[in-house]
Amino acid sequence: MTNQSITSLLLPFAILMASSPMLTAAGSADSEQVSKLLSQAKTDAYQMKEDAAAMESYTRLNTDWRSHTTAVNEMKEHINAVGRILTKLEDARPQATPWQVTAIDRIKPLLREIASNTESIILALNKDPRRLTQAEYKDYIEANADESAQLSELIADFVNYGNSKSRMDRLATKLELPSS
């Protein structure tokens, strides 16, 4: 066989393979590392939301300042855990698909705001533990509860989206559907 006849046989094969749904689906696959990190962040964000909700309930129950201190320390641990995951997500950004990059970009400002509010809560507790009934303290607590719930829901929605997208991609590959 001559080089020209080999080329003429390979060209249609190359065109066929380039349009293959299995190759297209594999080429657009989500980063498994980013998906796993988002799942880890989902767990810690949920725990953070629970911590914030507990702290908010403490303001209505007039509990002792030690309960607030314990809850804020637990919340701080979960904030730091999500922060460490966010750092890993930023490191994995080059491998992330567009929706995963969007997830990273949306997590960052909410986590920053929650961390800032939590720092204000810690400073208030350190300054005067009896300030638990003051409006400013309650505002920080309420903001943390709201923003922690938002963050938890946001991350859960992105994880659910990724899981659904993955299932759809696998099904499209199985059915040998053309990519959209």
Q: In the structure encoding, which two tokens stand for residue 133, read together?
A: 């009934």
Residue 44 falls within a domain, yes or no?
yes
Number of domains the chain contains: 1
Residue 83 falls within a domain, yes or no?
yes
Closest CA relative to residue 78, chosen from 156, 158, 151: 151
The 10s digit of each residue's pLDDT in 120-168 is: 999 988 888 877 888 888 899 999 999 999 999 999 999 999 999 999 9
* pLDDT at 179 > cutoff 70: yes
Residue 46 falls within a domain, yes or no?
yes
* pLDDT at 177 > cutoff 60: yes
CB atoms within 10 A of CB 138: 15
| Orientation angle between helical segments 32-61 and 135-174, nearest 10 degrees | 150
Residue 136 falls within a domain, yes or no?
yes
Q: In the structure encoding, which two tokens stand for residue 42, read together?
A: 């989902």
Full-model pTM: 0.80
pLDDT at 180: 64
Task: Specify the CATH number for the domain of residue 110.
Answer: 1.20.120.230
Q: In the structure encoding, which two tokens stand for residue 151, read together?
A: 């963050």
pLDDT at 16: 36
Residue 112 falls within a domain, yes or no?
yes
Percent of the chain whose pLDDT exceeds 90:
63
pLDDT band for position 51 (50/70/90)? very high
CB atoms within 10 A of CB 156: 18
pLDDT at 66: 87
- Domain span at residue 86 reads 33-163
37: burial class by Cβ within 10 Å (0-12, 13-18, 19+)?
buried
Residues 116/151, Cβ–Cβ less than 8 Å: no
Give 71 or 26, the one with higher predicted confidence. Answer: 71
Closest CA relative to residue 37, chosen from 158, 151, 165: 158
CA dihedral 40, 41, 46, 52 (to 10 degrees): 140
pLDDT at 75: 93
